[in-house]
């Protein structure tokens, strides 16, 4: 009886030794959350280098295809080195263009100034106007203002005046001239003092008057 008990103890020590860590499979245990997250970090994204080209909206074009990278870009051809785009010689924008759109390969002028600007005011094409009493102007189709200035004749008096809204000066008292410092009317002889009688030159109102000396009145006899 003692022999059987001794053999049983030997079996209890041998059986645990036969169960090794290698005998336990990892499939019997779920993976940790950290291990699952690390496996998702190794996603492979598409690489179109040498295979195609992508436009602004994310659309992919094959090699050799012609496409527009964006709405305001020039057309391009997809190559292994990337898009090769046209570089056209765009027409020049009019210097008086007031509205430019960039909706294509080249900018376009959508609105050209159709008025003239003169001294801070705007005028329509072919509109005539008078910025001053002596000027007559017109807005030309070229958006330039052409003016004509009135050429006033020489006034027939030595004291002309400018009236409102009139270009040239006028002689309100008629033709006259100077006799010394005195203004005398033209067409008549004027006695300017006790000894001199003067009259204006015919047509030469800017010249001094012609005077003749006569016997002085009030001269006392010697």
Q: Tens place of pLDDT for every residue, the chain, 222 residues?
A: 444 444 444 444 444 444 444 444 444 444 444 444 444 444 444 556 667 888 888 888 888 888 888 777 788 999 888 888 888 888 888 777 888 888 778 888 887 788 888 998 999 999 999 998 889 999 998 888 999 998 888 888 999 998 888 889 999 888 999 988 889 998 888 888 888 889 888 767 778 888 888 777 655 444
Report d(CA 91, CA 106) in Å as an integer.
Answer: 8
CA distances from 144 to 123, 131, 137 (A): 10, 15, 10
Report d(CA 29, CA 42) in Å as an integer.
Answer: 23
CA distances from 95 to 4, 98, 113, 178, 213 (A): 118, 9, 9, 57, 73
| Ordered structural domains, the chain, with CATH | 52-113 (no CATH), 115-149 (2.10.70), 154-215 (no CATH)
Contact 161, 172 (CB under 8 A): yes
**How many residues does the structure list for the chain?**
222
Report d(CA 185, CA 193) in Å as an integer.
Answer: 15
Neighbours of 105 (CB within 10 A): 16
Kindly report the pTM of this predicted structure: 0.39
What are the phi and psi torsion angles at 118 (to 5°)?
Answer: -145, 120
Report d(CA 185, CA 112) in Å as an integer.
Answer: 59
């Amino acid at each position: 009886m003692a022999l059987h008990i001794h053999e049983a103890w030997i079996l209890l020590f041998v059986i645990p030794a036969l169960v090794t860590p290698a005998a336990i499979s990892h499939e019997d245990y779920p993976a940790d959350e950290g291990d699952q997250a690390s496996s998702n970090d190794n996603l492979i994204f598409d690489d179109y280098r040498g295979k195609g080209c992508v436009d602004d909206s994310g659309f992919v074009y094959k090699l050799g295809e012609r496409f527009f990278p964006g709405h305001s870009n020039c057309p391009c051809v997809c190559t292994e080195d990337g898009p090769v785009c046209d570089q056209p010689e765009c027409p020049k924008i009019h210097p008086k263009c007031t509205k430019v759109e960039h909706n294509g390969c080249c900018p376009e002028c959508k609105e050209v100034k159709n008025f003239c600007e003169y001294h801070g005011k705007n005028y329509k094409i072919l509109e005539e106007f008078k910025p001053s009493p002596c000027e007559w102007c017109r807005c030309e189709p070229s958006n330039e203002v052409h003016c004509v200035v009135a050429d006033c004749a020489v006034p027939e008096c030595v004291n002309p005046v400018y009236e409102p809204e009139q270009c040239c000066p006028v002689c309100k008292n008629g033709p006259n001239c100077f006799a010394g410092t005195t203004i005398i009317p033209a067409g008549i002889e004027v006695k300017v003092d006790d000894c001199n009688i003067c009259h204006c030159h015919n047509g030469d109102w800017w010249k001094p008057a012609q005077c003749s000396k006569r016997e002085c009145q009030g001269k006392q006899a010697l």
